[in-house]
Amino acid sequence: MRIRPTVTSGMSIAVTAALAVATSATLSAAAAPQRSTALTHPVAALTLSTAKPAVGAKVVATVNHSRLPKGDRLRKVTIRFGDRTKAVVLHSLKGRARHSYTKPGTFVVVVTVVDRHGKKARKSKHVVVHAVHTSPPPAPSGLPLKIPAGLPATTPISALGLPTTTLSRIASLVGIPAGTLSGLPVGFLGMLPAADLTGAALPSLPGLAGLPLSGDLVTLLSATLGGLPFSLPTNAGLTPFQLIGTVPSTVLSTVQLTSLSTLFGVPTSVLPNLPLSVLGLLPGNLVQFVTPGTPPGGGTTPPPPTPVFPLSIAAGLLPTSLISSLGLPSTALSTVSSTLTIPAGTLSGLPVGFLRLLPAGDLTGSALPSLPGLASLPLLGNTIGMLLAGLPITIPSGVLPTTLISALPAGTLSVLQLSTLSTYFGIPTSVLKTLPVNVLTLLPTGLLNGL
């Protein structure tokens, strides 16, 4: 037997009506169109070409991504760059503004968009402006010099009023300390290269140096000023930039020093600080380079000392061996020191490779090892940069070979380059600075410019 559920007719009608209403509401909602929220105010957008410009660089601001309500029109766009300069006004969202900052700092760029109803929208961004680091221009050398015509020959160089930079430059060129140079007569400027005196009316040297000395006049001067002409032995190991004060009295006597003081018009206290090269300012017949032999008055000179050169370096000697290990006599060490213009005390502590600075004939037959470090490598191209940071080295023109590395113009050798040279030569940086720049000629071709 089946039991069928029974539903009253009133309940059935109610349920059917409810379902019909729900279905109608759902269909109505599905059929209704979707509406987006319309803009009621302008929207500002700001784009910068860079947020970290350098001082003086152009910054371009654009606002083309800004928006206006439908049917609205733009009144204006104002852009302020935050550095108290006049605001830039645009009348189109497609416009752009260009600006350059004159000093470093952080600035806020603000754009304001205004529609025709006066409604506003703002947008801002930060800009960090950094300084431009440039090297200062090189100090003027003050050369060539122009000496006033008719200037008295005894006028000291200090009376010319030369800038300190010019005085230092001249001192390095002629190998005379700047302090000593100031007290010398202007005639000493004749030691400068010709190009550095172009157009100058240079007076004659004080004293007798400008006279055409010859014949009996030389004899007369020799009687008046003792020790003339000067006879400098060719085997004494003298160098042009050796100070007169370091020349043995057997080469330049006290009488001759007094004569030089009279000829040049400088005190005897100043004369020892001058290099031997100043003798080149004297007429040729007052300076003679002679080979010691029989003196004019008869008798013989003492036998010459045992020759120092050529030096013979033992084959197979380690490149790091110090010159002190060679056991050179003090006379030989002194001669080498004078020839290389390196103090004997410093020379003893250097590797034997530094003897390559000697003239070729002074090392004939020697089995000289390569310098320590990388000196024997054929360094070319990119290999130089990889192995020796900071090289090649550039030495300014006019620097004398005898100039100490420590006395080079500021910025010539960086700390990195000094460290590289120290590694290259196998010597401490403190020792390297006491050496003359001519030691840099030991560097392979391509690692040194300008010396």
Q: What is the pLDDT of residues 399-432, one digit of tens each?
A: 887 788 888 888 888 888 888 888 777 788 888 8
Which ranges constitute the DSSP H helices of 355-437? 382-387, 415-425, 429-432
Pairing of strands 448-449, 393-394: parallel
| Within a domain: 211 | no
Rounded CA separation 362/263 (Å): 36
Do 388 and 348 sit in the same domain of this protein?
no
Rounded CA separation 423/150 (Å): 54
Q: Of 64-73, 102-111, 187-196, 241-250, give the lowest mean pLDDT range.
A: 187-196
Do 246 and 285 sit in the same domain of this protein?
yes
Q: Of 48-57, 177-186, 208-217, 400-409, give the lowest mean pLDDT range.
A: 208-217
> pTM of the predicted model, to two decimals?
0.34
Strands (DSSP E) along 315-450, which ranges? 393-394, 448-449
| Within a domain: 247 | yes
Cβ-proximal residues to 199 (8 Å cutoff; 6+ apart), any chain: 144, 146
Do 111 and 170 sit in the same domain of this protein?
no
Pairing of strands 287-290, 448-449: unpaired
| Within a domain: 5 | no
Pairing of strands 230-233, 120-129: unpaired
Do 66 and 114 sit in the same domain of this protein?
yes
Mean pLDDT of the chain: 74
Q: What is the pLDDT of residues 304-322, one digit of tens each?
A: 555 666 777 776 666 667 8
Closest CA to 421 of 431, 432, 411, 412: 432
Q: What string of DSSP letters covers 304-371?
A: PPPP--S--PPTT--TT-BGGGG---HHHHHHHHHHHT--HHHHHTSBGGGGGGS-GGGGTT--PPPP
Place of tokens 């806020």: 108
Q: pLDDT band at residue 7, thresholds of 50, 70 and 90?
A: very low
Structure confidence at residue 422 (pLDDT)? 81
CA 270 to chain centre: 33
Q: How long, in residues, is the chain? A: 451
| Within a domain: 218 | no
Q: pLDDT band at residue 110, thresholds of 50, 70 and 90?
A: very high
Pick the last residue of a domain from 174, 206, 238.
Answer: 206
CATH code assigned at 51: 2.60.40.10
Is 389 in a helix, a strand, or coil?
coil
Do 277 and 331 sit in the same domain of this protein?
no
Do 148 and 196 sit in the same domain of this protein?
yes
Is 4 in a helix, a strand, or coil?
coil
Pairing of strands 287-290, 230-233: parallel
- The percent of residues above 70 in pLDDT, for the chain, comes to 63
Cβ-proximal residues to 151 (8 Å cutoff; 6+ apart), any chain: 186, 201, 203
Which ranges constitute the DSSP H helices of 52-208? 164-174, 178-182
Residue 341: give the domain boundaries. Answer: 305-369
Number of structural domains in the chain: 5
Structure confidence at residue 295 (pLDDT)? 46
Do 354 and 398 sit in the same domain of this protein?
no
Place of tokens 């008719």: 150
Do 57 and 125 sit in the same domain of this protein?
yes
| Within a domain: 27 | no
Structure confidence at residue 306 (pLDDT)? 59
Do 189 and 231 sit in the same domain of this protein?
no
Q: What's the mean pLDDT in 84-99?
A: 92
Pick the last residue of a domain from 102, 129, 156.
Answer: 129
Rounded CA separation 59/195 (Å): 48
Do 57 and 113 sit in the same domain of this protein?
yes
Do 239 and 201 sit in the same domain of this protein?
no
Structure confidence at residue 387 (pLDDT)? 57
Question: Is residue 100 scored above 90 in pLDDT?
Answer: yes
| Within a domain: 438 | yes
Highest mean predicted confidence (pLDDT) among 26-40, 217-231, 275-289: 275-289
| Within a domain: 375 | no
With vertex at residue 229, the alpha carbon angle to CA 263 and CA 225, rounded to the nearest 5 degrees, is 45
Question: Is residue 190 scored above 80 in pLDDT?
Answer: no
| Within a domain: 40 | no
Q: pLDDT band at residue 213, thresholds of 50, 70 and 90?
A: very low
With vertex at residue 331, the alpha carbon angle to CA 328 and CA 334, rounded to the nearest 5 degrees, is 90
Do 52 and 121 sit in the same domain of this protein?
yes
Q: Which amino acid is at 422?
A: S
Structure confidence at residue 230 (pLDDT)? 73
